[in-house]
Amino acid sequence: MTSEITEKDKVIQDGSNAEGTVVKDADTSESKASPGTLTETGRSTGTTGRGLSRLLPSWMRRSKHSSKPETVPLTKEQPGSTEDVAEDAVLLKTDGPDDVSAGEKAEKEKCARVDLPGAAPVKSKVEEPPTMGGEGSEQDSKDTEKTASHSSETRIQKRGSWREYKLWGRKTKEKDKEKNEDKEETTEEKPALEAKMDVQEVGKEEKRAQGLDLRKLIDDDLIEIIDDVSDSEEKPGEQERDEDKGIKDQVNPTGEKEASEHAKEETEQPAEKEQAGDATSGQGVEAREPTPAETPKGKQDEGSTAEQKKEGKEKQMPGRVARSVSRRSRHVSCKVALLDGTSFECLLEKNACGQALFDLVCQHVNILEKDYFGLLHKDEAGHKNWLDPAKEVKKQLLNPPWLFSFNVKFYPLDPAQLTENLTRYLLCLQLRDDVTRGRLPCSFVTLALLASYTLQAELGDWSPQEFEGNYATAFRLAPNQTHELEERAMELHRTHRGQKPAEADFHFLENAKKLSMYGVDLHHAKDSEGTDIMLGVCANGLLVYRDRLRINRFAWPKILKISYRRSHFYIKIRPGEFEHVESTIGFKLPSHRAAKRLWKVCVEHHTFFRMVEPEKIPRGRLLSLGSRFRFSGRTQAQTREASARIDRPAPLVRRASARVQPSMAGSTVRTYTAMSSDGGAATASRAFNTARAAQAPAMPTSDGEDDVFLTPPLPRRSGPGEGKATSEDQPKGVLFYTSGEQDDRAETDSSKTDSSSSDSESGAEHEPPRVQMRNIEGENIYIRHSKLMLEGLDKTDEDMARRKDSLSQLKRSFMEDTLPPRPNEWDKRLSVGSPGRPSPRISMHGSPLQSPLNFSFREAPEGAGQSGNGEAMTTEALTVTYQAPQADSEDGEPDVLMSAQTITSESVSSTTTTHITKTVKGGFSETRIQKKIVISGDSDTDHDQALVQALHEATVQHPGMAITRVVVHKETDVPASD
């Protein structure tokens, strides 16, 4: 019926007034239900029609007289001709009355009027404003809801066939993915339906007991998942289905027919959708038609739209027009808070599913083992919900600012089994957060131990020179961080000497996973006696806590069924050794949503941890009474299998810790900044950055870069490769990257960690893919003494400030230490603007190879910087390198120089020379940008600040690039030369 209405609308638009009127009446029968939903209706119409037509035969037999007429028209509708529809409508009109008692009829009509205005604003204006719509609608509109609901209920109760029908229509509608829900509709019908559902549930359970819903489980778990029927907030899809099923059960004894119907319907869906789309577009066009004269209806129309908005479908568009537009090409900006404290922004198509966004984020994070993660968003009440990847994002969020956080959703029981260190690193970040926020309680000793691993992972080996004072204070390590704890953590930190960051992470996880609350997702609830308890969902099952004490536990294998109804959550327990009867245990949750949330989490955890593969979404509605919600991701078993196949060089882990790095010891002094990156990486980063590009417009500055980028040899991601690509890129361009992550304590990294094979072979560069690792060697090279961090653009002011501080501090230490060794000619050169190949050693060659001499200090720019930028480039590492002269010598052999550009710019106190070279080595192209910044000033302090600024600028200018080293050369005056 709803569908008909829509059709009518169209018709009306076409211009048949009289018919339009008629239509209204016809609508009455059904339309009331969905006043607000015009658009939807329109779309769904097609669907309904088709579905119905096929179904007709069966329906007709079963249905009562009343239904017949309707059916017929519907069939006609299918053809799609507007005229037909109109006729049908007429027919309906006539027939309808017969069935219904006079009183009902009257009521219906009333409703119809009311609805019409809201429903089909356009037509009403044009055609029969005065007649029905005008009067009735305006007056009634106020009462619309009441009336509508009333009428609908009556109907439902009185005519079984109608009810069915209607539901059918609605279902389809919803299926069609129409965004607009009718709140009213839902609310109206619920009462009646729910009542029935109760009765039906009994029946359902019996069926289940019979084994209708068997699933494959790893063990012998059999869990039935039953959704609550009354889910007001949920997308109708789920609820309605439930309701439908229930009703059908009652109404139609012949299940078979229905089943077949379902099948048909399902098959038809795609087509339906298309139709729906068309309808929509058609409506969109209509929407523009409204003329000023229509005012009254226009208002109503708006009202209806408003309602729709409320319902959460299309919040943003005020009018229909807007809506239509939005449907087509609307992108919504999403912001995702990542685990390392940075955030990722992107534009997401408005209709995109959760999966699309999730994939984007994973790409950005460069994680392959993504099944353990998920996106959380907060609802209005501040409750966090997991974004369902299978559903459209917009259906799951209300307010347009789409904010998410990227979090661990399933805590692996044994993190050691994760394939990649990157995954473990992210898990660590999550756990650190859990610990500091108190979600993962642990004792003092454990806190200190975990903290010490954090220090080790972020700072590297403890050494008396580097770590002075309370360096642990810079880290957030515990919920209530005390000095005592920091002391203890630092004490333990010393004992971890020699552990690579990845190893430290590993140990961190080994300790964290033993904690009793590891991976337990807690939900407030009350037990049957009203006592406050907490329900904890974890990999093994459901835990019941009272205060901190565990008072019960239901392992997944013991649970037969989980369900929720309203705000109650139920589990049915498998009879055990000693009990012989299945028992159902109910818990009261604070709200319906909470119950649903808990239920979903349970379904997901059970599926992920206990099943071999996700359960298929139940297709036949008849057989599965529950929600259609199922966990759609991979199960742990699957994800393990998949990750076993991961074949990429270990991705770079960009650590995002605040580092406090004190001093540097350097001898020689040369100043230059080299930024290098592969073209590939750059591109990649760019791609990533697109979204954030806004923030980092810097790209332009590096004019030369663009060219460079175009040429990038490296294929960007593909399949497994993407991760690789990145990592590969990184290595080349920036040797130091890698180092950042894994071996911060660059000094001696034997490349055990991921990037393992690091020997300081420049040769590495030649071979792209594998090379990466070698490049990493570069890491070794640097000594991260002091780290200067340049921040990614994203960084917050604080960060920036902090870095600057550390930077200047560094500088200071530099100057003091450094100066003596050799002042250089940096000024000279720089000012000159070293052309094609500037003094070679310094810049390119030297850096990678020279490892011995240089101290590079790479800051893993604290996650912020890194994560902020694209993947590869993300991190802007500032390497402060003191090069010994010798280093340069190594590099003797240059790469093939493909292009070189030199750009010089001057400002008051500084001269910047940018030298961009593109070289090809071993089939690998590499772009390096060297910046020489000559700062002239009188006092040291000036220099420091200037340097800081210069570095910052450089970073900003080349967002895609990483700073591999910074060499500070201070000269009083005199030129030196290399």
Partner 1 sequence: MNNQLALALTFVKPAVPHQPVPADDSFPDSVFVEDLAVVCGDTVLVTRPSALSRRGEVSAILPVLEELKLRIVEMKDETAMLEGGDVLFTGREFFVGLSQRTNQRGAEILADTFKDFAVSTVPGNGSLHLKSFCSMGGPDLLVIGSSEHAQKALRTMQQLTDHHYDKLTVPDDCAANCLFVRPGGKGHALVLRSAEDYPESIKAFEKLKDYTLIPTSMSELNKVNGMLTCCSILVNRKLDV
Does 187 bind partner 1 (CB under 8 A)? Our answer is: no
The DSSP letter of residue 880 is: B
Residue with smaller CB distance to partner 1, 158 or 526: 526
Residue with smaller CB distance to partner 1, 560 or 650: 560
Does 549 bind partner 1 (CB under 8 A)? Our answer is: yes
The answer to whether 611 and 635 are in contact (CB under 8 A) is: yes
Cβ partners under 8 Å of residue 308, min gap 6: 36, 37, 39, 179, 180, 181, 314
Does 584 bind partner 1 (CB under 8 A)? Our answer is: no
The answer to whether 902 and 913 are in contact (CB under 8 A) is: yes
To partner 1, the closest distance from the beta carbon of 554 in angstroms equals 8
The answer to whether 889 and 914 are in contact (CB under 8 A) is: no
**CA 651/CA 657 separation, integer angstroms:** 18
Residue with smaller CB distance to partner 1, 446 or 899: 446
Residue with smaller CB distance to partner 1, 398 or 555: 555
Cβ partners under 8 Å of residue 316, min gap 6: 322, 326, 330, 400
Does 701 bind partner 1 (CB under 8 A)? Our answer is: no
To partner 1, the closest distance from the beta carbon of 609 in angstroms equals 12
What is the DSSP code string of 225-269?
EE--S--SSS-HHHHHHHHHHHHHHHH-S-HHHHHHHHHHHHHHH
To partner 1, the closest distance from the beta carbon of 550 in angstroms equals 4
To partner 1, the closest distance from the beta carbon of 424 in angstroms equals 18
Does 899 bind partner 1 (CB under 8 A)? Our answer is: no
Nearest to 727 by CA among 772, 759, 688, 774: 772
* Residue 864, CA atoms < 13 Å, CB-side half-sphere: 18
Does 514 bind partner 1 (CB under 8 A)? Our answer is: yes
Does 102 bind partner 1 (CB under 8 A)? Our answer is: no
Report the first-to-last Cα separation within the chain, whole angstroms. Answer: 86
The answer to whether 573 and 582 are in contact (CB under 8 A) is: yes
To partner 1, the closest distance from the beta carbon of 826 in angstroms equals 52
Question: Is 382 exposed, middle or buried, given 0-12, 13-18 or 19+ CB atoms closer than 10 A?
Answer: exposed
Does 550 bind partner 1 (CB under 8 A)? Our answer is: yes
Among 102, 270, 548, 700, indicate the residue that binds partner 1 (CB under 8 A): 548
To partner 1, the closest distance from the beta carbon of 443 in angstroms equals 5
Does 581 bind partner 1 (CB under 8 A)? Our answer is: no
Residue with smaller CB distance to partner 1, 519 or 846: 519
CA 642 distance to own-chain centroid: 21
**CA 663/CA 708 separation, integer angstroms:** 36
Residue with smaller CB distance to partner 1, 58 or 481: 481
- Could you say which residues in the range 151-170 bind partner 1, by CB under 8 A? none
Q: Which tokens in the block code for residue 548? A: 């901190």
To partner 1, the closest distance from the beta carbon of 543 in angstroms equals 8
Among 214, 306, 445, 974, indicate the residue that binds partner 1 (CB under 8 A): 445
The 3-state secondary structure of 408-424 reads ECCCCCCHHHCCCHHHH
To partner 1, the closest distance from the beta carbon of 541 in angstroms equals 8
Amino acid found at 208: R
To partner 1, the closest distance from the beta carbon of 528 in angstroms equals 16
The answer to whether 23 and 11 are in contact (CB under 8 A) is: yes
To partner 1, the closest distance from the beta carbon of 538 in angstroms equals 8
Length of the chain in terms of residues written: 978
Residue with smaller CB distance to partner 1, 552 or 886: 552
Residue with smaller CB distance to partner 1, 529 or 797: 529
- Name the segment binding partner 1 (CB under 8 A); options: 68-76, 101-109, 270-278, 442-450: 442-450
Residue with smaller CB distance to partner 1, 448 or 860: 448
Nearest to 755 by CA among 767, 732, 780, 773: 773
**CA 790/CA 696 separation, integer angstroms:** 14
Does 516 bind partner 1 (CB under 8 A)? Our answer is: yes
Residue with smaller CB distance to partner 1, 610 or 634: 610
Q: Which tokens in the block code for residue 191? A: 């009462």
To partner 1, the closest distance from the beta carbon of 449 in angstroms equals 9
Q: Which tokens in the block code for residue 584? A: 């159902």
Residue with smaller CB distance to partner 1, 540 or 695: 540
For the four alpha carbons of 265, 271, 273 and 277, in that order, the dihedral sign comes to negative
Does 442 bind partner 1 (CB under 8 A)? Our answer is: yes
**CA 932/CA 946 separation, integer angstroms:** 13
Among 210, 443, 480, 977, indicate the residue that binds partner 1 (CB under 8 A): 443
Question: Is 869 exposed, middle or buried, given 0-12, 13-18 or 19+ CB atoms closer than 10 A?
Answer: buried
Residue with smaller CB distance to partner 1, 65 or 546: 546
CA 457 distance to own-chain centroid: 27
Q: Which tokens in the block code for residue 380? A: 């209005």
Nearest to 727 by CA among 795, 664, 775, 763: 775
Among 100, 515, 652, 966, indicate the residue that binds partner 1 (CB under 8 A): 515
To partner 1, the closest distance from the beta carbon of 524 in angstroms equals 17
Residue with smaller CB distance to partner 1, 468 or 484: 484
Among 414, 547, 893, 973, indicate the residue that binds partner 1 (CB under 8 A): 547
Among 551, 617, 644, 801, indicate the residue that binds partner 1 (CB under 8 A): 551
To partner 1, the closest distance from the beta carbon of 613 in angstroms equals 25
Q: Report the DSSP beta bridge partners of residue 925.
A: 920
Residue with smaller CB distance to partner 1, 408 or 512: 512
Among 288, 546, 616, 619, indicate the residue that binds partner 1 (CB under 8 A): 546
Residue with smaller CB distance to partner 1, 69 or 415: 415
Classify each residue of 468-506 as buried b or exposed e, where b means 16 or more C-beta atoms within 10 Å of its C-beta.
eeebbebbbbbeebeeebbebbbebbeebeebbbbbbbb
The answer to whether 792 and 875 are in contact (CB under 8 A) is: yes
- Name the segment binding partner 1 (CB under 8 A); options: 452-460, 550-558, 611-619, 798-806: 550-558
The answer to whether 676 and 642 are in contact (CB under 8 A) is: no
- Name the segment binding partner 1 (CB under 8 A); options: 182-190, 545-553, 763-771, 966-974: 545-553
Question: Is 965 exposed, middle or buried, given 0-12, 13-18 or 19+ CB atoms closer than 10 A?
Answer: buried
Residue with smaller CB distance to partner 1, 442 or 611: 442
Among 378, 553, 566, 588, indicate the residue that binds partner 1 (CB under 8 A): 553
Number of residues located near partner 1, criterion CB under 8 A? 19
Among 473, 528, 552, 907, indicate the residue that binds partner 1 (CB under 8 A): 552
Does 481 bind partner 1 (CB under 8 A)? Our answer is: no
Residue with smaller CB distance to partner 1, 105 or 553: 553
Residues 523-542: x where in contact with partner 1 by CB under 8 A, - otherwise, as a string: -----------------x--
Does 578 bind partner 1 (CB under 8 A)? Our answer is: yes
To partner 1, the closest distance from the beta carbon of 530 in angstroms equals 16
**CA 124/CA 9 separation, integer angstroms:** 9
- Name the segment binding partner 1 (CB under 8 A); options: 308-316, 355-363, 549-557, 733-741: 549-557
Residue with smaller CB distance to partner 1, 512 or 967: 512
- Could you say which residues in the range 412-441 bind partner 1, by CB under 8 A? 441
Which residues sit at the interface with partner 1, rule CB under 8 A?
A: 441-446, 514-516, 540, 546-553, 578
